Amino acid sequence: MIAALIFAVSVAALLQFFVSYCRSVLAASAKAQLSEQGREVAGISGSVTGDDFRRLIRLVYLCPEPGGDRNAIRAVRAYFRLLRLVRAGIAKLVPATADWLERECEGCAYFAAVALDRRISFSRDLMARQMANGL
């Protein structure tokens, strides 16, 4: 009985900490501006939507890694999956949550766009350095 209670409290706390941690990662990237080059390569013309997330993440994994963002990307991917799961399960029963879930998914997609932008800029720098060394 006590073990079940501890388990329930721990799972609730884990969910709360995980969601807050992911939101803190998203909030840190929300301040970053996307470059024109990044928008062009990612095919983003207007604002980023939640549906863009998977496509952007696939592009992120195609770029060379500058280091340091892999864990954040993993955490946000897990958070996005959790949001989609909640949307599939709860949003139909509680329609009021649908808007909030969509905003969160947009936040995840914007995070992926910022990560992609950073990786594209890293790749350009890398290529420029290689060309300079070659010359």
Partner 1 sequence: MLGSLVLSICRFVIFMRSGYTSSEYVYFYYYSDAVDTVLLYSCIMGLYQHVLTEMGVSKYLRVGSILLLGGTALVSLLLVREHTNQLTTRFVVELSQNLYFVGVVLTCLLWGTVVKLRETRTRLVQLVLALGIYFSASAGAYALRNMAPDLKITMFVPPLAGTFLPLAWSCTFWKIPEEARLATARVATPNR
Interface residues toward partner 1, by CB under 8 A: 3-4, 6-7, 9-11, 13-14, 16-18, 20-21, 23-25, 27-28, 68-69, 71-72, 100, 103
Looking at the Cβ atoms of 27 and 127, the one nearer to partner 1 is 27
Name the minimum Å distance from CB 10 to partner 1.
Answer: 3
Name the minimum Å distance from CB 90 to partner 1.
Answer: 12
Looking at the Cβ atoms of 12 and 127, the one nearer to partner 1 is 12
Q: Which residue has the tokens 């599939």?
A: 88
Element (H, E) at 10: helix 2-30
Task: For residues 42 and 64, give the distance between their C-alpha atoms in angstroms, rounded to a whole number.
Answer: 15
**Nearest by Cα to 26 from 85, 82, 66, 88:** 82
Residue 115 contacts residue 38 (beta carbons within 8 Å)? no
Looking at the Cβ atoms of 9 and 128, the one nearer to partner 1 is 9
Q: Which residue has the tokens 């390569």?
A: 41
Name the minimum Å distance from CB 19 to partner 1.
Answer: 9
Looking at the Cβ atoms of 54 and 75, the one nearer to partner 1 is 75
43 sits in the region (left: phi over 0; alpha: psi -120 to 50; else beta) called left
**Nearest by Cα to 49 from 93, 95, 112:** 112
Name the minimum Å distance from CB 14 to partner 1.
Answer: 4
